Structure 1
Amino acid sequence: MAMRVFEILDEIIDAVEQAKGVPMSSSAIVNRPTLLDLLDDLRDAFPAAVEDAREIIEQRDEIVSSARAEAARVEASCHDEATRLVSDARASAEKTTAEADSYAQRTVGKANSDADRILAGAEAEATAIHETARAKADGIVQAARDEHERLVTDHEVHRAAVSAAEDVRADAERHAAKLRGDADRYVEDTLSQLSLTLQKLSATVEHGRDTMHTRRSVDTDYYEPEHRRR
């Protein structure tokens, strides 16, 4: 009915606007029966429109009251859920921290054990290479000396024997020096690889610790506003 009131008012305005004007005056000639009928319709429509408005206002109050009650219920439910989520997050963070600490300790222990094993193996292998190289060098030198002594006993080939013996001894010493150099380089390369392995293991452990500290900081920053609200 409220819409009918506005429709009647529009019809009245149209009737007045379309009325013929009186010359030399701001007055107009309107159709009295039509205008009276519209006014009667307007008078009849007003009580129903007022009743509709009253019902709308009452419904609005009921809707607002219901909405406020629902908002209070939702707020309480959200607060309870937030409290539960914070509690679960704290428990999960503590569990994750404990697991990270345990993993870091296991990783460091294994890294130390692997490092000791690799170092012991490298030292043993280097020692074996040195001993093998020394034995070969001594054998070559001794063979050269024996050959030298044998040739010295022969006067006719004395000079040739001396020269050959010196060449053999020089070759033997060069070969021995090469073996010693190869052994030293092998040991140095092995120790360099071991150092790189230890650095990588240390970097892995430090990265795990940094990740754990960062996660703690993020968790603390995330839950700080919740603590202030409470």
Structure 2
Amino acid sequence: MAIDEAIALVQEGKGVPFSASAIVHRADLLNLLVAARDLLPQDLDQAKAVLTQREAVIEEGRYSAEQFLIHAREEASRMVEETAVVSAARDRADEIIQMANEDAESIKLETDTYVDNRLATLEVVLTKTMDAITRGRARLAGEKENDGLVIDE
């Protein structure tokens, strides 16, 4: 590489007594410096390309992370909504069951009352019928006594 060669040229150059200077061949050093300068734009372009790629990779990573977070939030929200819907459905089902049980109990009570009323009416009718039967039998028994016959009961 040109910079390394320029450094070697300066290090190998003859030193000037009582100073930190060195004697180097001007044309050789200039040729090395020009070559180094010519190589710099290529290296800088490559460095810029690497930085651009780095930025693109970082931006792509950020975008992917943001998309992942958005998806995760949407999924969490959907799951919460589903949980809320399921919970609401269960609550509504419990209400419907409770209402059905109350309706069934009410119908049972109404049915029991209706049957009891019908049985009471039947009891009254049967009691009147029994009274009529008893009176009829008594009348028959009275007529037979008048005929001289006694009927054992």
What is the TM-score normalised by the length of structure 1? 0.36
Indicate the residue corresponding to 2:111 in structure 1.
118
CA drift at 1:149: 0.3
Whole-angstrom distance in 1 between the partners of 2:120 and 2:73: 70
Given candidates 98, 101, 112, the residue that maps to 1:105 is 98
Whole-angstrom distance in 2 between the partners of 1:154 and 1:84: 103
Given candidates 71, 87, 90, the residue that maps to 2:83 is 90
Indicate the residue corresponding to 1:78 in structure 2.
71
* Letter of the 2:81 counterpart: D
Query: Is 2:123 aligned against 1:130?
Result: yes
Query: Could you say which structure has the larger radius of gyration?
Result: 2
Higher relative contact order (CA 8 A, sep 6+): 1
CA-atom RMSD in angstroms: 2.9
Instruction: Report the identity percentage.
Output: 12
* Structure 2 unmatched runs, 5+: 1-52
* Structure 1 unmatched runs, 5+: 1-60, 167-230
Indicate the residue corresponding to 1:178 in structure 2.
none
CA drift at 1:108: 2.6
CA drift at 1:86: 1.7
Matched residues, number: 97
What CA deviation, in whole Å up to 9, does each residue of 1:9-39 have, x standing for no partner? xxxxxxxxxxxxxxxxxxxxxxxxxxxxxxx
What CA deviation, in whole Å up to 9, does each residue of 1:164-219 have, x standing for no partner? xx4xxxxxxxxxxxxxxxxxxxxxxxxxxxxxxxxxxxxxxxxxxxxxxxxxxxxx
CA drift at 1:134: 1.9
* Letter of the 1:117 counterpart: E
